[in-house]
């Protein structure tokens, strides 16, 4: 593989600025490329240009009997020596490639779905030492002004075409291949311009190689050019045809010379000239003349850009095949003025199909096999689901469509198998492949979709991938170079993390009024839309002045069959309150990527947050840039209150336009500022999750050992979080809002104590230890007063309203968070096993041993044994460096055994006094914020309880020591499932 050294550069010749608004000067080694080509023999040729990996093969463009000759009869063998090589193929992403290579010469293009990039020698623009330096440009950056026109009129219709084309009609092959023997002549002005036979020979071959891409799959059959001869005049005055600059005179003269002037039989002939033809004409041809005595055209080498030369050649050859002009300004090859068009109009296609099917001189060739390819080698999708009932625990899922394109028409149906191979994503858990085969019907090239369901599995995880693959089953087509597509699932909707919260929430703007395509007008090649949201719209949705980190819109009907390429979202703060008569403004790019739509909410995570200032109108621009149209998708639209004009758009079907720069001067259609609809949008901002409080809202997911699942409702509000702490999969697990409300209600078995009105039900197929996090809003917690941050969790086997003391479990939480997210919520986490109903409660049935003074351990390196929820026993003791640590130990390593849930020291500022290994006493106390303090004890207090030797064991799972801080707050000191010492505020026993 040959890699490319590239650099942005100032133009070597000022002429470049006259031709292109933007370009790049690059260096390539044509010698190395030719060496690689020779070594590849008949195998695929792998080259690289910038980010494009090229997979090429030699074009079937040059006849085995090809000769290059001058007016003296001298022959030139550059092609036979392998010094001029035309090639075609694709990039790693399926983009079309045409390249011709010769010493010091590389010319051709890379045609992506969005645009076409041309590579051509810098020597076309500069006479300095520019060997192996090339200009790379986007056809959209060509400065207009060199277009030129075709001079064909009624007098150029071949008067003999009806008589000459009536014998030996062959009929349409429908998927076959017709070979056109092509002869090319160049006058002395061309030789003078290029400086050598080899340079001119390569340039002419490059134009035909590029033009071939306009005839390979656009008609009923492949029309393949086979260059049989080049005739190059190398001496001044040696032109065997007229020296006139009048195009008609020159065409007539060349037509008289060519039948016998070329030394080989041919079906079509072209004369290239660098003369400045009279008027604006740069090309002329006989119409309907292939396979006749008038099968000729003349071309002026009027431009330095290869894109226009390709179209000029294709256009005049189109006339030879009986195509007439399309309308002026139309985006087609047969428009009178030369452009960078790549498409034929249906009128031209019909005329050419009809004409060549009636010829007798064209031979047959082996057609290029039609191919099927994914349109992209990768696609990103969001893990989000609107549809319930996947095969994976009934979880919600989204439907995505991955487009697959047939390259050319086929005479009978072609069948391909579709398979999915798991990478980090797991089939049946993260995705379901719905389309397992594709059948392309006989007929023209079409695009079909592979349907995949992306399962919203609730698991906290990074991005996951799997790969789709195509395999041939039957029919006249084959899998192309892009037979696989990697699907990357972005789990962008986990708004709470394993510990607490992540910095994102959303607010939903508007109620659905109607549906429309608006920003996703995929039936056009390009579209540019701007939408305005007033401050009142945003504040009414709950958004204040803050950073916006993403947005999503809702697609009610997906109809597109290809990605929206270069889909861009830009934002700006503006002062105007509607769009009428206000200019399009510059915006900050917050998102730009190829976007494949899916039914439901489509989420866009911004590459950089955008700050809305709270008082300006929010101006959002959407655009995309495709090379062809598809079908339009429909979004939920809002009819905003207050009147006004809130969206405008430009659309275009021109192949050379950039959707993100469309203006009134280059659009196919313009929808002015009289639209009073906006997309229904969710705006994502920093600040964590919202809490689900709606009765019966639920979510489902499979939870494997070690996994954490955040259960969200279809409103993207969190219900609960479950972390599997065991070694067994919980399998299918459901979190549900069992009862709702914002108050506290009396316990059915202890009326002086209460539980939260909102309860959560957790059910799973298998049993394993898990950490459960419950979420309550600040409003719901206010009902508990000062106890709102020190409650217990109650678990019941039945709905709590009908529970009794015998079927409930009271658990001290191991973690309590507050000020979580937009709801200023509280998160309570505890460790449990088994299904049940859960709530918060101020009921405290914890069995405790109460002590009103310090506990002194008189033996060095001894302490208290605590058992964590996993039934692992730890020795809590101090080090010489004033550290309190927990080490695993045998559960029998004790002298004193206390059967209780906690050992409670009921005296503020009192605590544990432990002897370190160096025999110095250390005092363990807790401050008002729950932080432990270990200090040298100094003189021991006279009032105390002593443990004279050995350890003291709290003989219960999840046992604790309860200390009281100076402000009278009780704190439990315990060991969590990870073996770490933790403290949490609790109700005093």
CATH number at residue 835: 2.60.220
User: Is 703 contained in some domain?
Assistant: yes
- Does residue 827 share a domain with residue 894? no
- Does residue 98 share a domain with residue 130? yes
Average pLDDT over residues 355-381: 83
Sheet strands (E) in 407-446: 414-422, 431-433, 437-440
> Strand 912-915 relative to strand 944-947: parallel, antiparallel, unpaired?
unpaired
User: Is 495 contained in some domain?
Assistant: no
Query: pLDDT tens digits, residue range 466-500?
Result: 999 999 999 999 998 789 999 988 765 555 654 44
Distance CA 899, CA 849 (A): 8
Q: What percent of the chain lies above the pLDDT cut of 90?
A: 50
Distance CA 562, CA 897 (A): 71
Q: Which of 368, 384, 415 is the last residue of a domain?
A: 368
User: Is 691 contained in some domain?
Assistant: no
CATH number at residue 11: 3.40.390.10
- Does residue 405 share a domain with residue 519? no
Please tell me the least confidently modeled range out of 111-120, 353-362, 471-480, 723-732: 111-120
- Does residue 203 share a domain with residue 99? yes
Q: Which of 841, 857, 879 is the last residue of a domain?
A: 841
Segments forming the whole domain that contains residue 397: 371-490
> How is residue 386 written in tokens?
């609107």
Q: Which of 644, 661, 685 is the last residue of a domain?
A: 685
The answer to whether the CB of 550 falls within 8 A of the CB of 675 is: no
- Does residue 157 share a domain with residue 298? yes
- Does residue 637 share a domain with residue 521? yes
Q: For residue 164, what pLDDT is reported?
A: 36
Average pLDDT over residues 29-58: 84
Measured from the Cβ of residue 219, the count of other Cβ atoms closer than 10 Å reads 22
Distance CA 888, CA 908 (A): 30
- Does residue 717 share a domain with residue 632? no
* 3-class DSSP state of 116: strand
User: Is 400 contained in some domain?
Assistant: yes
- Does residue 852 share a domain with residue 821? no
Distance CA 764, CA 722 (A): 11
- Does residue 478 share a domain with residue 510? no
User: Is 497 contained in some domain?
Assistant: no
Which residues partner with 528 through β-bridges? 623, 650
Q: For residue 934, what pLDDT is reported?
A: 92
Tokens 């487009």, residue? 403
- Does residue 244 share a domain with residue 306? yes
Q: For residue 652, what pLDDT is reported?
A: 67
* Residue 268 CB-density burial (10 A; 0-12 exposed, 13-18 middle, 19+ buried): buried
User: Is 690 contained in some domain?
Assistant: no
User: Is 27 contained in some domain?
Assistant: yes
Asked if the model's pLDDT at residue 607 lies above 90, the reply is no
Q: For residue 943, what pLDDT is reported?
A: 81
| Number of domains observed in the structure of the chain | 5
Distance CA 717, CA 760 (A): 14
Looking at per-residue confidence, does 581 or 510 come out higher? 510
List phi, psi (to 5°) of 751: -65, -15
Closest C-alpha among 593, 597, 615 to residue 606:
593
- Does residue 41 share a domain with residue 10? yes
Query: pLDDT tens digits, residue range 587-599?
Result: 888 898 899 999 8
Asked if the model's pLDDT at residue 87 lies above 50, the reply is yes
Mean pLDDT computed over every residue of the chain: 86
Asked if the model's pLDDT at residue 561 lies above 80, the reply is yes
> How is residue 964 written in tokens?
């009281």
Q: What percent of the chain lies above the pLDDT cut of 70?
A: 90
Query: pLDDT tens digits, residue range 493-550?
Result: 555 654 444 445 688 888 877 888 888 888 788 888 899 999 988 888 888 887 787 8
- Does residue 752 share a domain with residue 673? no
Asked if the model's pLDDT at residue 409 lies above 90, the reply is no
Distance CA 147, CA 81 (A): 36
Helices (H), 774-838: 778-782
Q: For residue 169, what pLDDT is reported?
A: 38
Which residues partner with 984 through β-bridges? 972
The answer to whether the CB of 726 falls within 8 A of the CB of 705 is: yes
Sheet strands (E) in 858-911: 864-867, 873-878, 884-888, 896-898, 902-905
Q: For residue 439, what pLDDT is reported?
A: 97
> How is residue 668 written in tokens?
């196919």
Measured from the Cβ of residue 907, the count of other Cβ atoms closer than 10 Å reads 14
The answer to whether the CB of 425 falls within 8 A of the CB of 462 is: no
User: Is 969 contained in some domain?
Assistant: yes
CATH number at residue 406: 2.60.40.2030
* pLDDT band with cut points at 50, 70 and 90 for residue 668: very low
């Amino acid at each position: 593989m040959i890699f490319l050294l590239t650099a942005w550069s100032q133009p070597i010749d000022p002429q470049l600025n006259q031709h292109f608004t933007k370009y790049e000067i690059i260096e390539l080694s044509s010698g190395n490329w030719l060496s690689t080509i020779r070594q590849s023999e008949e195998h695929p040729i792998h080259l690289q240009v910038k980010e494009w990996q090229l997979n090429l093969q030699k074009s079937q463009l040059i006849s085995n009997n090809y000769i290059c000759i001058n007016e003296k009869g001298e022959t030139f063998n550059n092609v036979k020596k392998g010094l001029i090589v035309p090639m075609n193929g694709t990039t790693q992403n399926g983009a079309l490639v045409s390249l011709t290579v010769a010493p010091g010469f590389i010319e051709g293009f890379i045609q992506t779905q969005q645009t076409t990039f041309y590579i051509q020698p810098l020597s076309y623009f500069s006479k300095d030492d520019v060997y192996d330096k090339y200009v790379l440009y986007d056809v959209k950056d060509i400065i207009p002004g060199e277009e030129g026109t075709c001079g064909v009129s009624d007098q150029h219709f071949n008067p003999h075409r009806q008589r000459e084309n009536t014998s030996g009609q062959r009929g349409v092959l429908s998927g076959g291949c017709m070979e056109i023997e092509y002869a090319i002549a160049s006058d002395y002005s061309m030789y003078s311009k290029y400086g050598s036979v080899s340079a001119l020979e390569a340039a002419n071959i490059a134009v035909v190689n590029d033009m071939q891409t306009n005839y390979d799959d656009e008609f009923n059959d492949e029309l393949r050019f086979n260059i049989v001869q080049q005739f190059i005049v190398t001496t001044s005055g040696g032109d065997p045809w007229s020296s006139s600059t009048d195009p008609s005179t020159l065409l007539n003269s060349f037509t008289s010379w060519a039948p016998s002037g070329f030394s080989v039989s041919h079906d079509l002939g072209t004369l290239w000239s660098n003369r400045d033809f009279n008027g604006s004409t740069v090309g002329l041809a006989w119409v309907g003349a292939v396979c006749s005595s008038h099968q000729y055209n003349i071309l002026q080498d009027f431009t330095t850009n290869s894109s226009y030369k390709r179209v000029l050649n294709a256009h005049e050859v189109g006339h030879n095949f009986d195509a007439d002009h399309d309308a002026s300004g139309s985006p087609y090859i047969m428009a009178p003025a030369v452009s960078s068009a790549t498409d034929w109009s249906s009128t031209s296609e019909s005329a050419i199909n009809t004409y060549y099917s009636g010829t007798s001189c064209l031979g047959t060739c082996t057609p290029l096999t039609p191919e099927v390819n994914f349109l992209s080698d990768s696609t990103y999708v969001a893990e989000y689901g609107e549809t319930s009932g996947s095969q994976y625990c009934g979880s919600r899922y989204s439907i995505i469509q991955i487009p697959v394109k047939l390259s050319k028409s086929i005479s009978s149906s072609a069948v391909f198998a579709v398979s999915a191979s798991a990478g980090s994503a797991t089939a049946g858990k993260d995705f379901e492949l719905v389309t397992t085969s594709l059948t392309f019907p006989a007929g023209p090239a079409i695009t079909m979709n592979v349907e995949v369901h992306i399962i919203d599995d609730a698991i906290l995880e990074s991005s996951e991938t799997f790969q789709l693959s195509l395999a041939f089953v039957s029919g006249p087509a084959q899998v192309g170079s892009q037979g696989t597509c990697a699907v990357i699932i972005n789990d962008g909707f986990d708004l709470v993390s394993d510990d607490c919260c992540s910095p994102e929430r959303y607010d939903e703007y508007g109620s659905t009024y109607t549906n429309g395509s608006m920003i996703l007008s995929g039936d056009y090649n390009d579209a540019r839309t701007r939408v305005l949201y007033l401050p009142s719209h945003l504040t009414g949705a709950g958004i204040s002045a803050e950073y916006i980190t993403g947005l999503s819109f809702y697609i009610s009907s997906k109809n597109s069959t290809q990605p929206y390429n270069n889909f861009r979202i830009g934002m700006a703060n503006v002062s105007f309150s509607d769009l009428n008569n206000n200019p399009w403004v510059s915006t900050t790019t917050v998102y730009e990527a190829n976007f494949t739509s899916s039914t439901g909410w489509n989420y866009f995570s911004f590459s950089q947050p955008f700050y809305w200032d709270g008082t300006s109108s929010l101006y959002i621009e959407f655009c995309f840039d495709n090379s062809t149209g598809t079908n339009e998708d429909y979004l939920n639209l809002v009819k905003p209150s207050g009147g006004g004009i809130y969206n405008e758009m430009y659309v275009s079907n021109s192949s050379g336009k950039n959707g993100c720069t469309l203006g009134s001067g280059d659009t196919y259609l313009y929808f002015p500022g009289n639209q009073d609809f906006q997309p229904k949008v969710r705006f994502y901002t920093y600040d964590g999750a919202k809490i689900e409080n709606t009765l019966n809202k639920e979510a489902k997911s499979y939870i494997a050992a070690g996994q954490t699942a955040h259960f969200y409702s279809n409103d993207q509000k969190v219900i609960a979080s479950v972390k599997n702490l065991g070694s067994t999969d919980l399998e299918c697990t459901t979190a549900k809002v069992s009862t709702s409300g914002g108050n506290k209600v009396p316990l059915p078995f202890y009326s002086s104590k209460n539980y939260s009105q909102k309860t959560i039900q957790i059910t799973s197929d298998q049993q394993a230890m898990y950490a459960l996090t419950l979420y309550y809003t600040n409003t719901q917690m206010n009902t508990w007063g000062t106890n709102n941050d020190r409650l217990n969790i109650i678990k019941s086997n039945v709905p709590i309203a009908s529970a009794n003391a015998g079927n409930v479990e009271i658990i001290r939480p191991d973690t309590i968070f507050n000020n979580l997210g937009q709801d200023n919520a509280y998160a309570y986490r505890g460790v449990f096993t088994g299904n049940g109903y859960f709530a918060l409660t101020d009921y405290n049935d914890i069995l405790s041993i109460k002590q009103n003074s310090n506990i002194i351990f008189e033996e060095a390196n001894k302490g208290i044994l605590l058992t964590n929820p996993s039934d692992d026993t730890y020795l809590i003791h101090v080090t010489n460096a004033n550290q309190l640590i927990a080490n695993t130990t045998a559960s029998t390593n004790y002298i004193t055994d206390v059967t209780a849930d906690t050992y409670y020291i009921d005296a503020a500022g009192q605590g544990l006094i432990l002897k370190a290994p160096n025999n110095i006493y250390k005092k363990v106390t807790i401050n008002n914020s729950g932080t432990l303090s270990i200090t040298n004890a100094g003189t021991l207090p006279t009032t105390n309880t002593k443990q004279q030797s050995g350890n003291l064991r709290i003989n219960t799972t999840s046992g604790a020591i309860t200390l009281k801080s100076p402000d009278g707050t009780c704190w439990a000191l315990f060991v969590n499932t990870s073996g770490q010492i933790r403290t949490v505020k609790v109700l005093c026993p």
